[in-house]
Chains A and B, each alone.
Chain A
């Protein structure tokens, strides 16, 4: 039991003494996961909305595929991205393997189906008549989608929270694509794995605590925005 309490105390000491390396790692984790979430929102929300309002053949199959993608194992995403970014792979000329850019791509692929699928169901919760009505007022497809998105922005925000939560906690893809290189691609999750294996439990607990705190702060911010909007209605 002692080593847990001891590890915890040492962890607190590491955090409050301002261990520069832990904070650099936290900064990178935050930047990569936020960037990937942002890109996934930019692509996934319009895509999901479009799938929701349009009628086309095999639509149900496509939605089923997107829903399946929500459970995409990060290690599989990581493996595929790694193979593509490898020097001998089709995107090798980018030189993005073992860089933060590569990790953002991998996390983008993980978040995209989540945000798309949640956007689809959010958009489908809008009364189709409302969408048709906006169209008859002379709006284009995208203008109508925009109007509808305004109605469901709270649900979309929930999708963003879900996406970010998944990414910041994810270890498999960033381990494969990033390589856990010190000062370059070491993330909070990969550092936790490494320190745990080394038996440095104090360091592992410290990094784990930072990870939890980080997730909490970002989610708190997003939730505040969401709830303020609820009250503003």
Chain B
């Protein structure tokens, strides 16, 4: 019996030690977003600013856009921050989401080893670069996770009129950072969003071999998960985060983000702010 009491006391101590409860139940907002937003560190900055007023806790799940939209389709998430335009349009058309707002962009870059075995360097058109990689049968690592980056990559293979064959095409099934690490080890070509590439540049050892094509633009949108379809969605919280991101203070945070650390802006804000949302 004595042992049991001691055991209970230890358990209670450990629990109170580990799970330091936050004061007062707050409105928990569940955001499903893409790995690039987390891996660059932008998510941390915005989470801190959003939670400052003490009313909301942001529960951000960083997965690929495909999985993020899947979380929206089952009503698991309250709000999405994704970058897969075609899927987003379909998502809203099928009634899963409302208020889709494209507010941010940067671009994708095609990365490759310095030796550039497929002689892609200097190729302006992304589709042409992809065709060269396929023709040279140079190793290419794909996210293969239905993320926004993966969808963009598939579109580019289509545009290049090539169906990548397994002999040079590696399907990673991982987030951007994991895929970049594989590409580095395999000395392979890989399509990445510029922000994750810059955040990992010192570790990744790959060079930009093609950039600047219009086809490589990367647009991010916010979508509210439709509360009419999923009554459990935290509408108030989702709208609060929506309003926060589309506000002047968030715009400033996003535009300044990364300038000091990476020497350049990572995300470009292109939403024209209407509301007068104030950060407290």
* A interface residues with partner B (beta carbon < 8 Å): 27-28, 30-32, 34-35, 38, 86-88, 92, 95, 97-98, 100, 179-182, 184, 194, 196-201
Contacts and interface: CB of A to CB of B under 8 A. Distances in A.
Contacts of B74: 86-88
A31 B19 contact: yes
A97 B181 CA distance: 29
B221 interface: no
Nearest to B232: A87
A98 B61 contact: yes
A199 B175 CA distance: 13
Contact of B59 (A31, A184, A197, A198): A184
A35 B181 contact: no
A48 to B, nearest CB: 17
Given A28-B18, A30-B14, A38-B7, A199 B204 contact: yes
B174 interface: yes
A34 B44 contact: no
B170 to A, nearest CB: 15
A122 B174 CA distance: 43
B37 interface: no
Which of B61, B175, B204 has the most chain A CB atoms inside 10 A of its CB?
A: B61
Nearest to A193: B178
B174 A181 contact: no
Given A27-B18, A181-B61, 4 more contacts: A31-B14, A34-B14, A87-B232, A98-B59
A179 B19 CA distance: 16
A12 B31 CA distance: 35
Given A98-B30, A197-B177, A35 B76 contact: no
A27 B200 CA distance: 28
Q: How large, as a class, is the contact surface on chain B?
A: 35 or more
A35 B203 CA distance: 37
Contacts of A27: 17-18
B71 to A, nearest CB: 9
Given A86-B74, A181-B60, A182-B44, A32 B18 contact: yes
B253 interface: no
B76 A86 contact: yes
Contacts of B44: 182
Please provide the 4 A-B residue pairs with the shortest distance between their CB atoms, ordered closest to farther. A31-B18, A199-B203, A197-B178, A197-B177
Interface string B33-72: 0000001000110010000000001011110000000000
A31 B203 contact: no
A30 B18 contact: yes
B177 A35 contact: no
A191 to B, nearest CB: 13
Interface in B14-30: 14-15, 17-19, 28, 30
Contacts of A92: 232
A88 B17 contact: no
A38 B14 CA distance: 11
A95 B93 CA distance: 28
Contacts of B43: 182
Contacts of B230: 87-88
Nearest to B203: A199
A88 B75 contact: yes
B48 to A, nearest CB: 9
A31 B13 CA distance: 9
Contacts of A179: 59, 61
Given A86-B76, A97-B76, A181-B61, A197 B18 contact: no
B204 to A, nearest CB: 6
A137 to B, nearest CB: 20
Contacts of A97: 76
A82 B125 CA distance: 43
A153 B232 CA distance: 47
A29 to B, nearest CB: 8
B11 interface: yes
Nearest to B60: A181
A32 B18 CA distance: 8
Which of A35, A86, A182, A197 has the most chain B CB atoms inside 10 A of its CB?
A: A197
Which of B18, B43, B181 has the most chain A CB atoms inside 10 A of its CB?
A: B18
A147 B244 CA distance: 62
B143 to A, nearest CB: 12
21 contacts: A27-B17, A30-B18, A31-B14, A35-B15, A35-B18, A38-B11, A86-B76, A87-B75, A87-B230, A88-B75, A92-B232, A95-B28, A180-B62, A196-B181, A197-B175, A197-B178, A198-B199, A199-B180, A199-B181, A199-B184, A199-B200
Which of A27, A100, A181, A196 has the most chain B CB atoms inside 10 A of its CB?
A: A181
